[in-house]
Amino acid sequence: MPKKLWSAVLHVKSCWQCGQKINSSCIQRNSRLCTTPKLGSAVTLSRGARMIKQVSQYPIDALVKVVREAVLEVQQNVQAPMPLCAVSALSTLAAATQEKIKVILPWGGYPKQVGTYWAVIAESGERKTAVDNIFGREIGLRDLERKKTYTADLTQYETENRIWNIGEGSLVRQIAALDKNGEPADELRQQLDAHLKRKPMKPRLRRLVRQDINERAIMDALEGMGESIAVICNEGEILLRSALLSKPSLLNKAWDGGPFHFDRKDHSIAADDIRSTVSLMVQSAVLEAYLDKRGKVVRGSGLWARFLICWPPSMQGWRYTSAVESTWESLDAYHGRIKEILADDMQYVYEFDADAKAEFITLLNRIEEEIRPWGGGLSDISDFASKAGENTARISALLHHVSQQQGKITADTLYRAWAIVQWHLEEAQRIFSPQFGVSQVQSDAQLLESYLRKRFFELIVKVLPRTDVLHCGPIRDLGRFNAALDYLEAQEKIWIGTLKRTKFINRGQYWQQY
């Protein structure tokens, strides 16, 4: 029997809709961890299999108000997939917040950074760049100001450095002349020592968001103590083909918070207390090619396990333009909070309260049971599951901070974070699990769903005669057609009604979620 723990998320939505505060009773109902159709193999995506629309809806209600309402508003106005919008909002939040806060895990130890790694599998045209630009506006503006400051500081440095070089040259020449004549130059050598200590320091461009994602650029950006970067890459192919991912240890150490050391011929680079967030979007074909080539190495290194990954259904073909002018009040509130976070010079360390710690320990023990090699529900993605606890802690701290809660992190915030992480675990299992292929009924259901969507929108109707769909649709075999209908009906995407002995296919409630 699957563990009780996984039912927490299934009760999350109803609890928040009815206004009742979530508590430990929300994890007392039994349910399966994941009932979604699955794709893929251990290190590759299933070939020829297009995305089956998700049964597991993104837990939008798990987000705190300021983030949730902004995500809903952007999704409505931009018409990008909901998970893509949520990932963009959360990765932006992590990038803005990671400089300011840390979290102590329930089992103690040193405070951990709260940076997170995200990956969205999506085809070109899903508007991730637009969504990232919208959510990341305040970070972009701050980076622009930092660039202006850096340019001015660099000009001043170059002037001071020229003057310093002239002074150094003058002292060296005077010392050389005295040495040549056999005269003492102790005083000049002291002046030279003092002069060398006053050598101007070249300014660093402390830009948060990085697009230059080669290994050396990342090392230079992280050099020192407590440096913070965010690698936001909408063209994931660039990152996947870079030398950065050929050596996963660098990103692994960055996620862990360091330290790392890198020795070169001329000097050494050392970094510690690192804060890092990574968000990338990659096309399925590109990811599959990458995993075919390097999948075993990268996944074996533990890098993929650190990512919260998803493959949302496409909205292309259903993004209809409206004459109603878009409003952005909720996004403005989100931007305002991000701006406050960026401007805050305080450092915060959060820990969980007693109730949250107890629930967290229960959660971790359940996860451990589920990754057992035989019979564990997460045994096929044990690498992802092993990082789920820490990712939950980091997201808990992010939600706690952005919502300006006082005191310690509560169990309510923990449940919200776990709902998000569990959804991404389901996605990882659906994408990478070797035991779940795409069956004939799933493939047929996908084709039939696409056809029904097209006909519903073309005819502007909510019902279609079942016989017409059988004769004109993509599935003409009666047995396969009935199986595909049953599959879609079980997912509440359609329901079958009868009127005057004629059966009709009706749009289901779940359809409205997309």
Mean pLDDT of 177-205: 90
pLDDT surpassing 80 at residue 226: yes
Choice among 2-11, 88-97, 133-142 with the minimum mean pLDDT: 2-11
The pLDDT score that the predictor gives to residue 412 is 96
Mean pLDDT of 294-314: 81
* Identity of the highest mean pLDDT range in 13-17, 171-175, 279-283, 445-449: 171-175
- Percent of the chain exceeding pLDDT 90 equals 44
Alpha-carbon span 217 to 234, nearest angstrom: 18
pLDDT band at residue 444 under the 50/70/90 scheme = confident
Alpha-carbon span 1 to 44, nearest angstrom: 29
Q: What is the pLDDT of residues 472-514, one digit of tens each?
A: 998 999 999 999 999 888 888 898 998 888 899 998 866 654 4
Mean pLDDT of 312-331: 81
Which among 444, 464, 443 has a CA at the least distance from the CA of 508? 464
The pLDDT score that the predictor gives to residue 183 is 87
- pTM metric for this prediction: 0.74
Rounded to 5°, angle at Cα 86 from 146 and 122:
95
The pLDDT score that the predictor gives to residue 326 is 81
Q: What is the pLDDT of residues 228-277, one digit of tens each?
A: 888 888 777 777 766 666 677 888 888 888 787 777 767 788 888 889 99
The pLDDT score that the predictor gives to residue 116 is 96
The pLDDT score that the predictor gives to residue 54 is 42
Choice among 57-66, 258-267, 338-347 with the minimum mean pLDDT: 258-267
294 compared with 141, residue with greater pLDDT: 141
And the tokens for 93?
Answer: 């939040």
Mean pLDDT of 36-51: 34
CB 167 within 8 A of CB 195: yes
* Identity of the highest mean pLDDT range in 92-101, 434-443, 462-471: 92-101
Question: Which strands form 101-103's sheet, in the order they lie side by side?
Answer: 112-113, 101-103, 348-350
pLDDT surpassing 70 at residue 155: yes
DSSP 234-278: S-HHHHHTSHHHHSTHHHHHHHHT--EEEE-SS-EEEEES-EEEE
Mean pLDDT of 36-64: 52
pLDDT surpassing 90 at residue 402: yes
The pLDDT score that the predictor gives to residue 89 is 96
pLDDT band at residue 20 under the 50/70/90 scheme = very low
135 compared with 225, residue with greater pLDDT: 135
Mean pLDDT of 200-225: 81
The pLDDT score that the predictor gives to residue 313 is 83
Alpha-carbon span 225 to 273, nearest angstrom: 6
Alpha-carbon span 482 to 478, nearest angstrom: 6
Which amino acid is it at 179? D
The pLDDT score that the predictor gives to residue 296 is 66
Mean pLDDT of 140-162: 93
Question: Domain extents for the chain?
Answer: 4-142+275-432, 144-197, 440-513
Q: Round the average pLDDT of the chain to a whole number and report it.
A: 82
Burial of 250 (0-12, 13-18, 19+ CB in 10 A): buried
**Phi, psi (degrees; rounded to nearest 5) at 27:** -115, 25
CB 491 within 8 A of CB 513: no
Mean pLDDT of 167-189: 90
The pLDDT score that the predictor gives to residue 3 is 38
Q: What is the pLDDT of residues 359-388, one digit of tens each?
A: 999 999 999 988 887 667 888 888 899 999
pLDDT band at residue 22 under the 50/70/90 scheme = very low
Burial of 75 (0-12, 13-18, 19+ CB in 10 A): buried
- Percent of the chain exceeding pLDDT 70 equals 83
pLDDT band at residue 287 under the 50/70/90 scheme = confident
310 compared with 237, residue with greater pLDDT: 310
CATH 3.90.660, applies to 440-513? no
Question: What 3-state DSSP class applies to 101?
Answer: strand
The pLDDT score that the predictor gives to residue 246 is 66
Whole-number Cα distances in Å, 316 to 75, 122, 125, 497, 508: 13, 11, 8, 29, 20
Mean pLDDT of 462-468: 91
